[in-house]
Homo-oligomer: A and B are copies of this chain.
Amino acid sequence: MKDRSRWLPIAQARAPFWAGVDLGGTNIKVGLVDDDGRTVAFHTEKTLVDRGPEDVCRRMGESVRTVAELAGVALSDIPRAGLGTPGPQDLKAGFIIRAGNFPGFDGFNVRDRVSHHAGLPVTFANDATAAGFGEHWIGAAAHLESLVLLTLGTGVGGSIVIGEATIDGANSHASECGHILVDPAPTARMCPCGKRGHLEAYASAKSLVAMARERIDAGTAAGLTQAVAGGAELTPELVWAQAKTGDAASLELIDTVARWLGIGITTLLHTLDPAIVLLGGAMTFGGEPDPVGHAFLERIRAEVRERAFPLLVERTPIRFATLGGDAGYVGAAGMARAEHLRLHPSDA
């Protein structure tokens, strides 16, 4: 757990406790949080996806017991655990479908197997959705009635939370805000999903790198060309570093990403009118304190200002998320709590 500011000594914690599991392609993160969402124990280990789904689920379940032991909390004080995984999923059935990074997981009931190994009922969630729920519970959207979160990473994830409900869809495919159609032109960029013109084709780390590569090839990115020739890897971090030195091409690339995000966010404002829009994930260029991150956010806001209803422009903050890499497990734990309270209203 990177940020220890949300870490709480167990003596100050408020029971009951909730476990959250965040399954990634590289790492499993497991946290135990108290009833106010404050972390009292954390454990992480490599996913080792090649060991197969049963092994991964066993270790996720055991990690829930591990964090309980680390915190000195009895399993009987943890009513439920939450599990967030990458999609696409069948949330009702409890499994991941057709996820290239998780061979053998298609149709394997991860929810029930983690539940078995943890010895707790499990709430199954999309990882991006869980991250949004985390921000809603204790992060940048705490005390607000709703939010949209765009997670800018390798791809572009989305989360829509309204009240205590997440928007999951009839087929577990809602909140895929990375696939808002932003460019209807036949020449629009190809999205990794195989269709043209989706937001992810313009606003993901992968797209930024692809657009940077195109500029290098076209000879219109002297700074980046020089850096890459000097051995640097072409990454969003390199573009960010170059932008900080004032490199025009890098600044333009980041400006382009921001512009497309503003176009997608306009549609989100008009269809969902959330209380706040958050941007999270690795590709936020250092966040608001960083001059590049600040300019990025301002450019997004300017684009929305030009395209959206003035009332919503005025009333809807657009900000960076605050939970970072903790959002996933905190949100999964929060969703477990919300489901428990729905099932047992007398516990509220």
Contacts and interface: CB of A to CB of B under 8 A. Distances in A.
A198 B269 CA distance: 13
Contact of A160 (B179, B271, B312): B271
B267 A267 contact: yes
A171 B315 contact: yes
Given A307-B197, A311-B171, A270 B180 contact: yes
This chain: copies in complex: 2
A175 interface: yes
Interface string A83-122: 0000010000000000000000000000000000000000
Interface in A131-152: 144-146
A184 B263 contact: yes
Contacts of A229: none
Nearest to A180: B267
Interface stretch (A30-38, A272-280, A292-300): A272-280
A313 to B, nearest CB: 10
Interface stretch (A52-60, A73-81, A162-170, A219-227): A162-170
A270 B268 CA distance: 11
A267 B176 CA distance: 9
- Closest 5 interchain pairs by CB? A169-B273, A174-B273, A179-B270, A170-B275, A173-B273
